Amino acid sequence: QVLLQESGPGLVKPSETLSLTCTVSGASISSYYWSWIRQPPGKGLEWVGYVFYSGSTNYNPSLKSRLTIALDTSENQFSLKLNSVTAADTAVYYCAGLKPSWDIELWGQGTLVTVSS
Amino acid sequence: QSVLTQPPSVSGAPGQRVTISCTGSSSNIGTHYHVHWYQQLPGTAPKLLIYGNINRPSGVPDRFSGSKSGSSASLAITGLQAEDEADYYCQSFDTSLTTSIFGGGTKLTVL
């Protein structure tokens, strides 16, 4: 059974860096594009970006200047770092596994990150 | 404002058929890139419902079907059931943005 589990602080101060990790179990790290999607409270889904095991990445253009997604194959984990956060970055962050045809086959349960002082 | 446009809400009585539209443009749905649909039940993570425009993952009832024509796509649900009450999202790739995009989501209410 495939399991994706997000972990990280639930509260981040404005202007600081939001850091999350996703631990993957039951799936080959080379079979998916490891992704982050976020959902502000009461709103729709927003694509954040992905990292592939080759090292290639794809980022939402609106977040690109603040965003880093990295893969740690030795730990079967991937991470998200979003710097200079504001209240607009408050959201449930989902880690996910994306197929080459861009369908998101695997989803974590999501973790709420609140940006507030 | 989402690049892909969905109606904010649709509703139907049990047993009825409803459709949810997803309208894009020549830089996303109007290309060779596929449209995918997700169901998000209240308080849960989204779940892949339709992939590659028309395909159902294992375990998804055949009451759910997808289609794509030109720069638009649709999700149809027949034989509505109370358990279908959820938010539904379409997703594709945009060649101008060179990234994935979602529709704004549609809330389905079963009357």
Q: Which two tokens stand for residue A1?
A: 């059974």
Q: What is the pLDDT of residues A61-112, one digit of tens each?
A: 999 999 999 999 999 999 999 999 999 999 999 999 999 999 999 999 999 9
Interface of B with A in 40-79 (CB under 8 A): 44-48, 51-52, 57
Decide if pLDDT at B77 tops 80. yes
Considering only CB atoms, A101 lies closest to which of B34, B46, B102, namely: B34
For position B1, what pLDDT does the model report? 75
DSSP string, A45-96: -EEEEEE-TTS-EEE-TTTGGGEEEEEETTTTEEEEEE-S--GGG-EEEEEE
Task: Specify the pLDDT at position A87.
Answer: 98
B62 in Cβ contact with B56 (< 8 Å): yes
| CB A80, CB A48: distance < 8 Å | yes
Q: Distance from first CA to last CA of chain A, Å, rounded?
A: 39
d(CA B5, CA A96): 23
B22: which residues sit within 8 A by CB, 6+ positions away?
Answer: B4, B5, B6, B29, B35, B37, B72, B73, B74, B75, B90, B103
- Asked if the model's pLDDT at residue B17 lies above 80, the reply is yes
Average pLDDT, chain B: 96
Whether the predicted pLDDT of B86 surpasses 90: yes
pLDDT digits (tens, 9 = 90+) for A1-32: 899 999 999 999 999 999 999 999 999 888 99
What is the end-to-end Cα distance of chain B in Å, rounded? Answer: 28
Residue B66 is predicted with a pLDDT of: 98
In chain A, residues 34-63 whose CB comes closer than 8 Å to chain B: 37, 44-47, 49, 58-61
**Strand pairing category for B72-77 and A18-25:** unpaired
Q: Rank A51-55, A72-76, A113-117 by mean pLDDT and report only the highest.
A: A113-117
DSSP element (H, E) containing A23: strand A18-25
Confidence of residue B2 (pLDDT cuts 50, 70, 90): confident
HEC readout, chain B: CCCEECCCEEEECCCCCEEEEEECCCCCCCCCCCCEEEEECCCCCCEEEEECCCECCCCCCCCEEEEEECCEEEEEECCCCHHHCEEEEEEEEECCCCEEEEECCEEEEEC
Residue among B13, B40, B24 nearest B110 (CA) = B13
Mean pLDDT of A28-49: 95
pLDDT in tens, A77-91: 999 999 999 999 999
Cβ–Cβ of A47/B100 closer than 8 Å?
A: yes
